Amino acid sequence: MNHQLVTSDYIVFAIYFVIVAGYGYYIYNRKRKASADTKDFFLAEGSLTWWAIGASLIASNISAEQFIGMSGSGFKMGLAISTYEWMAAATLLVVAIFFLPIYLKNKIYTMPQFLSQRYNGTVATIMAVFWLLLYVFVNLTSILYLGALAVSTISGFSFTACMIGLAVFAIIITLGGMKVIGFTDVIQVFFLILGGLATTYLALNLVSHHFGGSTGAAANTMNGMWDGLGLLRQKAPEHFHMIFDKSNANYKELPGLAVLIGGMWIVNLNYWGCNQYITQRALGADLKTARNGLLFAGFLKLLMPIIVVLPGIATYVLWKNGMFAEEMQGVVDGVKQVKPDRAYPILLNLLPAGLKGLSFAALTAAIVASLAGKANSIATIFTLDIYKKHFKKEATDAEQVNIGRIAIVVSCIIAALVAPALGNLDQAFQFIQEYTGFISPGVFAIFIMGFFWKRTTSAAALVGAALAIPLSVALMLIFPDLPFINRMGWVFVIIVALMVIISLMDPKSKDNPKALQIDTGMFKLAPGFAVGAIIICGILTALYTIFW
């Protein structure tokens, strides 16, 4: 198997690099205001169009975590892992309709700022520290590790060299501020989708050729691709069910109907609605632009499983029928076993010259865009919610931007130092989801109660923040067989109940001065958005009906 890029691959990759870097430099110089204005640097206030917001959301969300991790989960459990992508499309609609109006009406720019405004500075600071630790040591680190592993597998360069290269590339883009990130993400998404579809096309044609569905020239045509898709469903029907029953070996990861009406909503609503990393892209725009951006992202989300899940299923079918026996093997704790996360890199190494360079660029685009987005969010929270509030309240805009840039560099260095420690991961995507889930129920409970129940008090929010991790750990130890998605649901219910009791015990909560002012007019939808939302819901209904 070829683990080296050839000249034509390097040419394609160089074209990608020059386009992204050149366009980013152009955007940066077009409005030099970003170099000194805090809101412009961190939020690109008023600058991002709906298509830039939507593309940036997807570029920042889709990374090696999806390309490598979700493809690996596709290898192991099949199409069901797509629920993270397809339910996200529905979640984006909820966030656009109900969350965005509240943020924008109250001029919220960071998630800790919302907590400070709605509760108090203590809740905001505690959660700011939580988020910084999570973003640096789980998200940024895992993106860098998986990205470097994938790039190293494909290119033949050392893991360390790839890790440093990705970190430096991301830092260069991030230092230009959110405007540069937002507009370069449009190009990143173009390469991500084009290169991702090329890999899916190869995988399906490979399946078709292997089983004799198409031969000769037909094996590399659209006919071969459709033959391959049909063969996947024929050879691995168990990999095309979205809802597992308890007899399924993967039920613990995706527990049946909970992915539709249970804990999966907490996973998604917390990620897409209460997450600086994501919401930051929309907070600098007006409501109509921000909503249209999230709608566009929802349509792109429907496409993602074709790019990141089908290749994993194709690799599984080929592996089950004798291919990639050695390539899929890895050593974990001294024991040789199948490593699902090797599925996607194996396929990339089969691509022909030039096309391999395109897919290599797509993977790099996904990794770098996610690193840049995460680093910018780390810088935003650290600068606006830690440094300015607790270290230098009178800091000028220029000083805050400089501190933000220092935070970007430092966080990437920390991630690079910690990343090699993740070497024993099996399914990285599931690992990230489970451990992020230790704080997600508490965060979402604090936000949703703060949004829609005026009596929620600061004391209740502190209890919610403090109990999320202990409750999650306790339930994991007491009920080790309880699926983590269900565990998140129970932790959320317990925390909400406690917050209600604590708030009702405080007589002052009846006239809570911190309560948000909400009126139904905030949630009125434009006709175009409403039509788009109905189309997405219709497509999701069809997908879950067909692949139930």
Q: Which pTM value belongs to this model? A: 0.81
Helices (H) and strands (E) in the chain, counts: 27, 2
- pLDDT value of residue 3: 56
Residue 55 near residue 61, CB atoms below 8 Å: no
- Separation CA 200–CA 309 (nearest Å): 9
Burial status of residue 70 (CB atoms within 10 A of its CB: 0-12, 13-18, 19 or more): buried
- Separation CA 497–CA 371 (nearest Å): 37
* DSSP code, position 285: S
- Tokens at residue 276, please? 């600086």
Domains of the chain, CATH where assigned? 7-27+47-207+270-427 (1.20.1730.10)
- Separation CA 261–CA 390 (nearest Å): 41
Which segments in the chain show pLDDT lower than 70? 1-4, 27-47, 64-65, 175-185, 188, 212-222, 277, 280-281, 284, 329-335, 423-433
- pLDDT value of residue 216: 46
CB atoms within 10 A of CB 22: 12
- Tokens at residue 428, please? 């990285």
- Separation CA 267–CA 429 (nearest Å): 13
- pLDDT value of residue 530: 93
466-485 per-position pLDDT tens digit: 898 899 999 989 998 888 88
- pLDDT value of residue 536: 95
Residue 23 near residue 184, CB atoms below 8 Å: yes
- Separation CA 68–CA 340 (nearest Å): 9
| E strands in 236-388 | 329-332, 335-338
50-108 per-position pLDDT tens digit: 887 888 788 777 776 677 778 888 888 889 989 989 999 999 999 999 888 888 888 77
Q: What is the DSSP string of 398-425?
A: HHHHHHHHHHHHHHHHHHHHHGGGGTT-
